Amino acid sequence: MLEVVRIPVLNDNYVWLLHDAASGETVAIDPAVADPVLEAAAARGWTIGQIWNTHWHGDHVGGNASIKAAAEAWGGCVITGPAAEAEKIGTLDRTVDEGDQVRIGDHVATVMAVPAHTAGHVAYDLGDDHILFVGDTLFAMGCGRLFEGTAAQMFTNMARFSALPDDTIVYCAHEYTLSNGRFALGVEPDNDALSQRVAAVEAARARGEATVPTSIGLERATNIFMRARSVAELAARRAAKDAA
């Protein structure tokens, strides 16, 4: 059985710890900073032996070097990230691209190349475990800004994610849900599932609760970017969100 722990850091980032009890292995996904991640692992008696990066932005790789240095005390830490961004992530030990696999114990994650937010962005799909780490490509009721890619690429990404099983649990890297949901309501005001979800999110945030992870089924019903019917429609929605 895999266990996933959410670690809130910085302003609205989430770092994820993925732990396999059978092997005792632990992976940190997109560690923005080191200390809270190391502390969360130590509090559970875990040691971080791998880091999986989805893309090069500093709030996803900023903790790499310090975690790797700390890991020398327990046998080291292998850092994996996108081959297309290797020059921007100087701490990588292994580079991966579409179709490559990484492992934690006996559990396999297949790498999905999902460029758009950045040119070499990847996601990690643990299909047998119905777990997906998406970085800044897919958010709860949102998608990443198109900093280095195109709306066509993001449209393709949304279609790929949408094809995954409904019960796939999606671990994104930011708490953007409330902003995304309120914007989405302006685009699809008659979407009852969306209205109900936004109300639930508003209540959760008022209680100080996190709103991720999410699921593919929930996103298919309420995510206006996944629901876009064309590249042009996604592009228009993304441009409007950027300007909001």
pLDDT band for position 27 (cuts 50, 70, 90): very high
**Considering the chain, what percentage of its residues have pLDDT values greater than 70?**
100
What angle in degrees, to the nearest 10, is found between the helix axes of 192-206 and 177-187?
Answer: 150
How much is the average pLDDT of 182-186? 97
Sign of CA dihedral 118, 119, 121, 127: positive
pLDDT digits (tens, 9 = 90+) for 80-106: 999 999 999 999 999 999 999 999 999
**Residues 91, 96, 100, CA angle at the centre, nearest 5°?**
150
How much is the average pLDDT of 162-188? 98
Q: Is 230's pLDDT higher than 90?
A: yes
| Residues 194 and 154: beta-carbon distance below 8 Å | no
Phi/psi-derived region of residue 66, left when phi > 0, alpha when psi is between -120 and 50, beta in every other case: alpha
pLDDT band for position 13 (cuts 50, 70, 90): very high
pLDDT digits (tens, 9 = 90+) for 28-84: 999 999 999 999 999 999 999 999 999 999 999 999 999 999 999 999 999 999 999
Domain count, the chain: 1
Q: Is 1's pLDDT higher than 90?
A: no
pTM of the predicted structure, to 2 decimals: 0.97
Give the CATH number for residue 105. 3.60.15.10
Domain that holds residue 157: 2-243
- pLDDT given at position 14: 98
DSSP bridge partners of 243: none
Mean per-residue pLDDT of the chain: 98
